[in-house]
Amino acid sequence: MFKLKKSIAIFYLVMLFSCLLIGNINFVDIYSLPENFCANYSDIDNVNENSLFGGFVTTSLEKQQTSVSSQKDNDGVIIFKLFGFIPIRKVKVNILPEEDVYIGGVPIGLSLASDGAIVISDTVVSSTDGKVNKNATFKSGDILTSIEGQAIKSLDQVEELLQNSNGRVNVEFIRKNQKKSLNVELIKSTDGKYKLGLWVKDDISGVGTLTYVKQDTHNFAALGHPITDGKAGNIIPIEHGKIYDCSLIGINKGERNNPGELRCVFLQSSEKGEIIKNNKYGIFGHLNNLDNIVDTNLTAKIGGRLGVRPGKAKIVSSISGIREEYDIEIIKANYQAKSDDKSIVFRVTDKRLLELTGGIVQGMSGSPIMQNGKLVGAVTHVFLTDPTKGYGVYSDWMLEQQQPDAARLSAN
């Protein structure tokens, strides 16, 4: 009997080893999935229908729906099983509503008022002691968020706080997306005023692309990556922001080591909505006016990362003057445990788009990525060495930012 059990155990070990050799179990992707993520029912069904994680791996969903004060919590657990009966991993999932959204693809103007003062550069200050001084503490791109414990809301406030000090202040600031605090000795200039020795600003503007708009609330998502201060890469904390109808006046084609750009203009009078949130997934807010930037006839369901596969796909853009779909090939769909705006790697294959832009250019960030009729992602970056290749973020990561329980599923 002992020999028989031993033989059976050896048999199963050989079977498992054989499966690994022929690539029918993709443990790397299974264990790369985050502990919590969003998906819809069709995405989960797609795993089994297309053997997404290998021919010997199946999934089942255990629904955990509770009702509290008429609020339903659509949580569940996806169980990955080997050979249909050996559990190998469990992950929590929040079931997304099977709703249609308006598809974007149109350039929009962006204007943000920062929640703090952004350091542009040093400036020389002639002091009362006859010396010429420069700031030696702060760097270009730092974001000053408070002085003496008071949150900075305007540049006038910065001036007031400095002049009401005794020549030394505590400054809280953001550098490389990390919060820092320092006691700083101010420079007393020849006019008797205290100075930090800095040029600062409290607003930023640019151009991006609208990704989608929810039909019921008109809440939108765009860009797919954060608005930052530039080279320093700090995500701008925002006091408030606006989006505008944008007119495309030209395209600088992308070339090797030159990403190119969309050249657009927008006016303050063309305001369409407000920006509420700026984070690593993009910008989010509410549209007050859909005219010119939303085609209510162009809708699709949002697909999660489980439904994204290497192969043919499309991006939506109106850079030709009309909203069109352009062919791309998804080269890789990563399953990171942590969110990333470089989750999808793709190549532009459409000759029309290559002729217009050379590939992906600045200003196209946020362009919807479609596969199998679903919105699965948004364009985020271009390869500097090859403008025909780009990155994208999964659309379900963007949608999580508009879910009531998004804070539980992701850290911003």
Is 225 catalytic? The answer is yes
Is 203 catalytic? The answer is no
Alpha-carbon separation of residue 408 from 44, 400, 411 (angstroms): 21, 10, 8
HSE-CB at 283 with a 13 A cutoff on CA atoms is 32
Is 245 catalytic? The answer is no
Tokens standing for residue 312: 């043919």
**Catalytic annotation, pick one of 203, 350, 386, 405:** 350
- Nearest in space to 236 (alpha carbons), one of 172, 196, 177, 157: 177
- Nearest in space to 273 (alpha carbons), one of 298, 246, 250: 246
Measured between alpha carbons, how far is 249 from 208 in angstroms, rounded to an integer? Answer: 14
HSE-CB at 385 with a 13 A cutoff on CA atoms is 0
Measured between alpha carbons, how far is 40 from 372 in angstroms, rounded to an integer? Answer: 15
Measured between alpha carbons, how far is 80 from 87 in angstroms, rounded to an integer? Answer: 6
Measured between alpha carbons, how far is 326 from 274 in angstroms, rounded to an integer? Answer: 29
The residue type at 147: I
343 - beta bridge partners? none
The overall longest dimension of the chain from CA atoms, in Å, is 98
**Counting beta carbons within 10 angstroms of the beta carbon of residue 348, is it exposed (0 to 12), middle (13 to 18) or buried (19 or more)?**
buried
Tokens standing for residue 6: 């031993």
**Catalytic annotation, pick one of 114, 317, 343, 365:** 365
**Counting beta carbons within 10 angstroms of the beta carbon of residue 130, is it exposed (0 to 12), middle (13 to 18) or buried (19 or more)?**
exposed
**Catalytic annotation, pick one of 225, 270, 395, 410:** 225
Active site residues: 225, 350, 365
